[in-house]
Structure 1
Amino acid sequence: MRRVFLLLLILLSIGVVNAFPLGYDNYKLIDAIPKGNIVDDRVYEDKVIRIEFDDFTGKYPQFTLRNISNTPLTILWDLCAFVDSTGRSQGVIRSNIPFLDRGKPVPPTLVIPRAFISEVMVPLDSIDYDGGWIVNNSIPKEAEQTLTIVLTVEQGGKQTTYMFTFESVMASRGVLVEGGTFTMGDTWGGGDSDERPTHKVTFTYDFYIGKYEVTFDEYDVFCEATSRDKPSDEGWGRGARPVINVSWWDAIAYCNWLSEKEKLPKAYDSDGNLLDKDGRITIDPSKVVGYRLPTEAEWEYAAKGGNKSEGYKYSGSDNVSDVAWYSSNSGSKTQEVGKKAPNELGLYDMSGNVWEWCSDWYGSYSSSAQTNPYNSTAGSYRVRRGGSWINSATFTRVAFRLYVSPSCTVYNLGFRICRTVP
């Protein structure tokens, strides 16, 4: 319930045109934590609103509500609920209710006319106690998950139920890249020798690629779930900044963990080979079902805008500052994902911020046309793409290539995830 308000507040905070507050019949949501961006601000008969938010890293949601009517308004906590994307319903409890009273009815809250109330909503199944409240927040930490809050109020003897649905649009959310043909390599001239010869590449399949680079928030959940040490953030902060100091092996372990979480076949074996849906080694990315790193060709195709490409030198613009954090504007550190302009497909930070691991071994180009390419020939280095906060603009060009040992961890190298459309 409190979360309903919270989310509502969130909506408010984002509000139509990112404006607060958001009004509903007899009350207004004045403020909310966490913050987010309204994806669709239309209000339907059941008051469904799509809200975009990143990982919620606080203890629990908070909201501020104001009774804007002339009569008292009662919040009926026992008729409020959270419903997650699996359809599982949880009751709610106010955070100031003693832990020992968790299973008892929650007294309603009376809000007098024109009064404000600040409240915390806690889903019942998300509470532990160890000398104090420990709340495992229920806001989805995965892409395309939803949370519906059922808010029931009573006024003048009449009960009204509102339903608010919020959609989680996480950093790992996939953007669809439709198959097609493009010219891979330096088509502008002046690039390095390993960007040539240019050659035609055709994809016979569609794939999803991360809208953003994987963030510390997302990667830290993986570390906690697998008892791994969390990588250093170099003192710059974690949250929505891209994860750094992760090796190629760390990146594919994250991909396999994400696949297992979603009950998908793993994309990699213990030697780093790609696997098909039956667990057999394959060199055809179209046969891989689970989450994985993009191939080098997939990465460049997506960075260039896929079948919507406008031919930019950087990912989304010919003006590097529009789309990239690099040596001249980064402040000598990573920046939160998604703060620069996206490219033609809606992908962020494919130029700059951090280098990104690709699946392939590094190798020389051939002039021959290729279909669904993936360099599986073992070597000493894996491909990394995109440039970073510490590099000059040259390194952030979409055709620029670099390589590094798969065991390397460094403060300007991260990754984004990819998945073949089934």
Structure 2
Amino acid sequence: MSKRIVKGKSLKEVEANTKYMGCTFYLGCVDGEDFIGTEFDNCSFRGWFNDWGRDEYGLWMAFTYKNVRQVMRWIRPGTFMMGSPETEESRYKDEMQHQVTISKGFWLAETVCTQELWEAVMENNPSEFKGDKNPVERVSWDDCNAFIEKLNEEVSELELCLPTEAQWEYACRAGITTAFSFGKSITINQVNYDGERTVEVKSFACNNWGLYEMHGNVYEWCSDWYDNYDISITTDPTGAISGSYRVMRGGSWDYSSGGDVRSAHRFRSMPGYRYDDIGFRFCLRPQK
């Protein structure tokens, strides 16, 4: 596709395969696919998302709320094998492997929600292991949705939500088919498991898509009700329509076995349950 050139305009969004010169952008929730093939020459960015870039892991944008900065990573649409093969070590029966397509790209927080961001929004800190850059924990599924609702109300441009279980596993794997995004096995130098407490976010290396601590540190709530997979739904599954338990993913510092922090590992709990190894990571609802 040929690239068009736009000079000196105030725009709300960007468009793919376009070179902008001297333009001002007022960016809200932009679809990351619109950045494909773009070039910017002497342009400025304003709006809720006014900090963005590309790096070796892909496209990112950031927002700042009450002086707390949060980076979001663009997760491109794609197809992957969800669950685990029967030969995978430490596998559970509820991990039936099946093909899933994520048809819409989405922005996912590069880290779990920190205590400093939680405090900025909720004006309290329920965590057992205190630290601004540590994950907020001891938060229930209900608590996390209250946080999301409040931040969405205060910032009208945001449409935050919890990721679906399928979105979470797709992002965790980051194109890798092994048990972990780092390979077939892990060590405590790569993941916070078999530990004594949480550690600061970004304490360990990120995966291939720039996401930190998808394995270990704290469990992460997903939006889905827990049930066995409905393998007849292969595009954008959202889980069971009702249930007693919500899905958690990623494992935590409190598990002695690395098998419980695998990409395919599923856990569940009642939506009002809190513990010091449970946190969350939010995403933006897909725009298209």
- Following superposition, the deviation at residue 369 of structure 1 comes to 4.8
Distance 1:318 1:261, change over 3 A: farther
Q: For 2:225 and 2:160, how far apart are their aligned partners in 1?
A: 18
Residue 230 of structure 1 corresponds to which residue in structure 2? Answer: 125
CA RMSD of aligned residues (A): 2.4
Q: Is contact 1:179–1:204 with CA below 8 Å preserved after alignment?
A: yes
Residue 103 of structure 2 corresponds to which residue in structure 1? Answer: 204
Q: Is contact 2:81–2:177 with CA below 8 Å preserved after alignment?
A: no
CA deviations over 1:109-147 (Å, ceiling 9, x no partner): xxxxxxxxxxxxxxxxxxxxxxxxxxxxxxxxx93459x
User: Which residues of 2 match residues 393-408 of structure 1 at below 5 A?
Assistant: 393-408=258-273
Aligned with residue 93 of structure 2, among 186, 193, 196: 193
Q: Which stretches in structure 1 are left out of the alignment for 5+ residues?
A: 1-83, 88-141, 147-167, 266-289
Q: What TM-score, normalized by structure 1, do the two folds share?
A: 0.50
Q: Is contact 1:203–1:371 with CA below 8 Å preserved after alignment?
A: yes
Letter of the 1:250 partner, please give it.
D
Q: For 1:407 and 1:259, how far apart are their aligned partners in 2?
A: 21
Q: Which has the greater radius of gyration?
A: 1
Please, which moves more after superposition, 393-402 or 412-421?
A: 412-421
User: Which residues of 2 match residues 142-161 of structure 1 at below 5 A?
Assistant: 143-145=62-64
- Following superposition, the deviation at residue 169 of structure 1 comes to 8.5
Letter of the 2:206 partner, please give it.
P
Residue 236 of structure 2 corresponds to which residue in structure 1? Answer: 372
Q: Is contact 2:68–2:117 with CA below 8 Å preserved after alignment?
A: no
User: How many residue pairs were aligned?
Assistant: 226
Residue 183 of structure 1 corresponds to which residue in structure 2? Answer: 81
Q: For 2:131 and 2:119, how far apart are their aligned partners in 1?
A: 9
Local SS of the residue matching 1:320? coil
User: Which residues of 2 match residues 8-407 of structure 1 at below 5 A?
Assistant: 143-145=62-64, 170=69, 172-187=70-85, 188-190=87-89, 191-196=91-96, 198-224=97-123, 229-231=124-126, 233-234=127-128, 236-264=129-157, 290-305=159-174, 309-321=175-187, 322-327=189-194, 330=195, 332-391=196-255, 392-407=257-272
The percentage of aligned residue pairs carrying the same residue is 35
Letter of the 1:409 partner, please give it.
R
- Following superposition, the deviation at residue 318 of structure 1 comes to 3.4
Distance 1:419 1:237, change over 3 A: same
Distance 1:169 1:257, change over 3 A: closer
Letter of the 2:102 partner, please give it.
F
Which has the larger share of helix?
1
Residue 12 of structure 2 corresponds to which residue in structure 1? Answer: none
CA deviations over 1:122-177 (Å, ceiling 9, x no partner): xxxxxxxxxxxxxxxxxxxx93459xxxxxxxxxxxxxxxxxxxxx883x421111
Q: Is contact 1:211–1:348 with CA below 8 Å preserved after alignment?
A: yes
- Following superposition, the deviation at residue 258 of structure 1 comes to 2.0
Q: What TM-score, normalized by structure 2, do the two folds share?
A: 0.73
Q: For 1:253 and 1:169, how far apart are their aligned partners in 2?
A: 19
- Following superposition, the deviation at residue 256 of structure 1 comes to 1.5
Local SS of the residue matching 1:214? coil
Q: For 1:247 and 1:409, how far apart are their aligned partners in 2?
A: 5
Q: For 1:352 and 1:264, how far apart are their aligned partners in 2?
A: 31
Residue 5 of structure 2 corresponds to which residue in structure 1? Answer: none
Q: For 1:223 and 1:169, how far apart are their aligned partners in 2?
A: 13
Letter of the 1:380 partner, please give it.
S
Greater relative CO, 1 or 2 (CA 8 Å, sep 6+)? 2
- Following superposition, the deviation at residue 368 of structure 1 comes to 2.6
Q: Which stretches in structure 2 are left out of the alignment for 5+ residues?
A: 1-44, 49-60
